[in-house]
A and B are shown apart, each in its own frame.
Chain A
Amino acid sequence: MAAPHVYQTRAIVLRQSKIGEADRIVTIYTPELGKLKAIAKGACRPGSKLGGNVEPLTYSSMMLAKGRNLDIITQSQTIDAFLALRKDLWHMACGLYTLELVDSSTLENSENSPLFDLLLNALRWLCQSENDKTVVRYFELHLLHHLGYRPQLRRCVNCNSSLNPVINFFSYGQGGILCPHCNQKEPVPRPLSVDALKVLRLWQGCDYATASRVKMSSKLSSELKQVMQGYMRYLFQRELKSMAWLEELEKKSLVDNNYGTN
């Protein structure tokens, strides 16, 4: 059966780049079609009705027309522009990071509607929350789940024995926790504290509202960041560029400086 010539979809704009004088190639993530690239004609001109509706970090309702190579966005109406994220450097950086993670971990035209819902929710949580680090970690953990890389946190991935409340180890290669005994063969040991394992287990099985109630020390928070980001670097075999930007903001203490003002 021939595909319809014009179709409508909800979409989160992941990325865009300019082509030619004023056109843009827009990468969007949709519930039914997964990731796809489309053209927004004339989007850079101030008069354009498309302009702001095809910027990254917008959730829109779009009409697309089938094109020869890329489909063409003919209309776009913003449902949510996540304004709270645009007013704060750190929150915007967190939002852009979730977009880049989805963009670099998915293929075009492969549907994954739970992942779409997760991304949309994460952007909304970031808008409401001062608990931005929890949002980002929770998002990473559940993204891995929806991509089929859910880490095994209940039992040792090697010997299947139940884990004791001692320092265990995270194995990137085996995608889960190793007991101290099995870890002896690992070339690079990556210790994981009892608290970090507890938090990861809880988050893996609970909704965000519950996850956000966990209070973390900055030590625990940075341990979780290291283990999650290390695992993702290993899985995706690349550096995420917006991860570096988050690091830079943290280093310069430009985190959360004026959230809620202005």
Chain B
Amino acid sequence: MASIAEPIARLIAELNKLPGIGPKSAQRLTYYLLHTPDEEVKSLGDAILFLKEKVELCSVCFNITDRNPCPICQDKERDHSKICVVEKPSDIIPLERTGKYEGVYHVLHGTISPAQGIGPQELKVKELLYRLQDNSVAEVILATNPTIEGEATAMYLRQMIRPMGIHISRLARGLPFGSDLEYADDMTLAQALEGRQEF
């Protein structure tokens, strides 16, 4: 790589770290940016920096937000007695897109993974149980992925929440086992949401 100018090699290496971008794409993007007008490149750079500077976790639901509490948690039109529990912030996007869900969310930031030593302490579980303590929540919808780890997490939450007498449901099995909510199509997800089952 010594023949390539250092700034170019550096950007290629950085882009290559991104998901879905292999060495060839990284190279193509780098040379594309080299020929892009200065102000556009600057705007892209600013957007990336802003992402980290202006964004934080909502203190209620732990979604990523630039306002705290986040717009969903602040929305009085939404049903705050329903909490949909998801693994990661990007899982909220497809659920919102279905337009079928009027409740609020809770983001765990991961799943229980015994083989990797990730337990409930590493997730926003304590924070969820805290939210459930003031008797204002009637239903918890467990929307963790239909994977082994998602199931383990859902079963653990069920056992922790059940003594509180709150209704617990789980997304219906429109979702094939082993899949990821983030990549589910809208129809499948809307069906899974409507057909959520007692858990």
Contacts and interface: CB of A to CB of B under 8 A. Distances in A.
B176 interface: yes
Contacts of A99: 115
A254 B178 contact: no
Nearest to A15: B115
A92 B148 contact: yes
A21 B175 CA distance: 19
Contacts of A196: none
Nearest to B183: A45
A46 B148 contact: no
A28 interface: no
Contact of B179 (A46, A246, A258): A46
B117 A241 contact: yes
B45 interface: no
B175 A89 contact: no
Interface in B133-177: 146-148, 151-152, 155-156, 159, 175-177
B116 to A, nearest CB: 7
A245 B180 contact: no
Given A46-B185, A51-B176, A86 B148 contact: yes
Interface in A97-121: 97, 99-100, 103
Contacts, number: 88
A180 B144 CA distance: 54
A55 B147 CA distance: 7
B156 A89 contact: yes
Contacts of A51: 176-179
B175 A55 contact: no
B9 interface: no
Interface string A35-79: 000000001111010111111110000000000000000000000
B7 interface: no
A89 B155 contact: yes
B23 interface: no
Contacts of A153: none
Given A46-B184, A86-B148, A52 B114 contact: no
B176 A244 contact: no
Interface string B97-140: 00000000000000010111101000000000000000000000
Interface of A: 15, 20-22, 43-46, 48, 50-57, 81, 86-89, 92-93, 96-97, 99-100, 103, 241-242, 244-246, 248, 254, 257-258, 262
Please give me the 5 A-B residue pairs with the lowest Cβ-Cβ distance, nearest first: A52-B177, A51-B178, A52-B178, A245-B114, A242-B114
Interface of B: 19-20, 112, 114-117, 119, 146-148, 151-152, 155-156, 159, 175-180, 183-185, 188, 199
24 contacts: A20-B20, A44-B178, A44-B179, A45-B179, A46-B176, A51-B177, A52-B178, A52-B179, A55-B178, A86-B151, A88-B155, A89-B155, A92-B148, A92-B151, A92-B155, A93-B114, A96-B148, A96-B152, A99-B115, A100-B114, A241-B115, A242-B115, A244-B117, A244-B119
